[in-house]
Structure 1
Amino acid sequence: MSDRRIWTLEEEDVMISILKGIVAEGGRCDTGSFRSGSYEHVASKMREKIKDINITAKHVQNKMKRLKDKYSEAYDMLNMSGFGWDDTHKCVTVTDTEILDAYVKKHPNKNYTANRPFPHYERLTIMFGKDRATGSMAESAADALDHMGLEHEESDTAGFSRPLSTPSNVASGSSDPNA
């Protein structure tokens, strides 16, 4: 017997509404994940709101994972040239087949296809929007060292020299940077 279930739009809508309330009440950790017991709470509330629904916390957790993957895919498309949003049909749009083909080739395991309805996308932004890495705070290793003040460590130690470690001399067990 499979534990997999097919969700209706109504069930997804109810689940998202409950989760939206949890987010509004601060039910997410700083990492963006939901607090312990949240999925069980959602399943319980869904059983109260939808007659004869057979749903568990694991169903809710799995659905959230799939929706997050789908949201991420749509988000990525919308942040690329050539893709747009159709507010009437609630879907990511692309008219140039070359752009779509290039995207599909680069993302073969995609969870969302452009031009297909995704009615919950805008509501999911409340739950997943902050979880997206944009790269705006990314820094190189040299920048990180500079910000930590470590790049000048050798000059600050007045004559103390420590060997440099590189992946090749660490693997060989040598501390000689010229090895």
Structure 2
Amino acid sequence: MLRILKQEYMLGNYVGGQFTNDAWTQIVSTFNLQTGLTYTKAHIKNRLKVLKKSFSLYHTLATKSGWGWDPDKNMLIIGDLSDWEDMIEANPQYAKCKDRPFPAFAILELLCANTSIAKHQDKTALDANDRDTSSNTSREVSSSSNPRKRKRTAVAKAIPDPVQTRRRRPKITKEQISCANVAGPRVYSIEDCIDKLETLPNISSEAFLSACEAFKDEHDRSIFMRLHGPLLNMWIDRQVAKHSISAVQVVVPSQQQSP
């Protein structure tokens, strides 16, 4: 389930802290196809909710001062063993995190970023902006009392700072590229996609034909041409799964025997 969720996340189908409706449709169908189960969207969402609660416990401990997370062992890095008693006393649920790996940590860290890590980062950035605003206000009040200093300040603001200009140049370039892409996005042809598909090693005939079927859609062609490595393989696997589902849904009418 986590592998399928990660695939949809990497394809950009996780927006505003939740999967899109199309992503959920794909998640449920792919999960049931690969497991032979008949889970509904509610079943998978409930399981994800339980995992997020466990992640919250592990994440709180992993970000504690002096502690950390071992991605190889999927376990907590404990700073001081004596801290365990205090932590468990504060919240008895932490006891189930002790000496127990949690392989879902990495993908859940991505899915929960908007609700935990990102909020902390936003708050830190906001505090920094508040300090900068306060500092700038103090300097402006100080300079307003001196007419000569106020004049020099006005002249300095009118002349661009070369250092600031160099720092802003990458951002300006990115904005120009972004505007160019919006104005004229490249449209890939089916032939372009097939040429790239033929360069992929060890691709099966089923995967090749499923990808070719997807190339009928301009959006899918654009995604295919921009993906590389593991993500590209995940995209192809997804097309195979979709093609298999479509094939199962096709009903072949029985031929009536002539009298």
TM-score by length of structure 2 reads 0.42
Larger radius of gyration: 2
Q: 1-side partners of 2:126 and 2:82: how far apart?
A: 30
Equivalent of 2:34, from 46, 49, 67?
49
Q: 2-side partners of 1:92 and 1:121: how far apart?
A: 10
What is residue 80 of structure 1 aligned with on the other side? 64
What is residue 18 of structure 1 aligned with on the other side? 4
Q: How far 1:41 moved relative to its partner?
A: 2.8
Equivalent of 2:44, from 60, 71, 90?
60
Q: 1-side partners of 2:58 and 2:68: how far apart?
A: 10
| Deviation per residue, 1:90-135 (Å, 9 max, x gap) | 2114374431122222234559513201112123333223431324
Which ranges of structure 1 fall in alignment gaps of 5 or more residues? 1-14, 148-179
- Cα 1:138–1:63 change in 2 (3 A) is farther
Point out the more displaced range, 129-138 or 60-69: 129-138
What is residue 253 of structure 2 aligned with on the other side? none
Q: How far 1:40 moved relative to its partner?
A: 3.9
CA RMSD of aligned residues (A): 3.0
Aligned pairs for 1:1-179 within 5 A: 15-29=1-15, 31-51=16-36, 53-94=37-78, 96-110=80-94, 113-132=97-116, 133-134=119-120, 135-137=123-125, 139=127
- SS of structure 1 residue aligned to 2:97: coil
- Cα 1:28–1:87 change in 2 (3 A) is closer
Contact (CA 8 Å) 2:87, 2:94: kept in 1 or not? no
TM-score by length of structure 1 reads 0.58
What is residue 199 of structure 2 aligned with on the other side? none
What is the aligned residue count? 128
Amino acid in structure 2 at the alignment position of 1:136: T
Q: 2-side partners of 1:110 and 1:41: how far apart?
A: 34
* Percent of pairs with identical residues: 22
Q: 1-side partners of 2:33 and 2:25: how far apart?
A: 12
